[in-house]
């Protein structure tokens, strides 16, 4: 049940492109994290180029307006799962959009089952409903 929050530059991607980005990330989530079908939670926020600041952390490169900042909230994942997720997501986005390596940044924040309520103010993981 990862929650994927995409931050994009407004008008840099077509609506069809955005849908393909979301579908691609969902497929990678299923593949790498073994999430069940239908376990899909994604949001997209748009920013002006000036309001989506993604510097290079001193690595010496520049990013284009096609930059994607992806925040993921998820259960704890192994180092291998994280590395595989980052790599597979980039490879697929690069193949589909020729996305530059510099234009994808991913931040993963871990949480636990107790941090989720899916409806009705219930903690379904804690009550055994899930």
Mean pLDDT of 30-56: 96
Q: Which CATH number do you get for residue 72?
A: 3.30.429.10
Mean pLDDT of 84-104: 98
Q: What number of other Cβ atoms are within 10 A of residue 52's Cβ?
A: 19
The number of distinct structural domains making up the chain is: 1
Asked whether residue 1 carries a pLDDT value surpassing 90, the answer given is no
Displacement of CA 97 from its chain's centroid (Å): 16
The residue segments making up the domain with residue 20 are 3-127
Mean pLDDT of 55-65: 95
Asked whether residue 98 carries a pLDDT value surpassing 80, the answer given is yes
Catalytic residue annotation: 2
Residue 72: predicted pLDDT: 98
């Amino acid at each position: 049940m990862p929650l994927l929050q995409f931050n994009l530059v407004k008008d840099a991607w077509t609506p069809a492109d955005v849908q393909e980005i979301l579908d691609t990330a969902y497929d990678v989530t299923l593949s790498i994290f073994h999430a069940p079908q239908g376990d899909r939670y994604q949001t997209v926020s748009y920013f002006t180029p000036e309001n989506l600041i993604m510097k290079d952390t001193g690595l010496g490169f520049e990013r284009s307006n096609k930059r994607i900042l992806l925040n993921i909230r998820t259960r704890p994942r192994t180092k291998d799962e994280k590395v595989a997720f980052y790599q597979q997501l980039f490879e697929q986005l690069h193949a589909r959009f020729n996305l530059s390596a510099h234009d994808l940044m991913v931040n993963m924040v871990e949480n636990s089952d107790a941090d989720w309520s899916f409806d009705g103010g219930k903690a379904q993981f804690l009550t055994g409903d899930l």
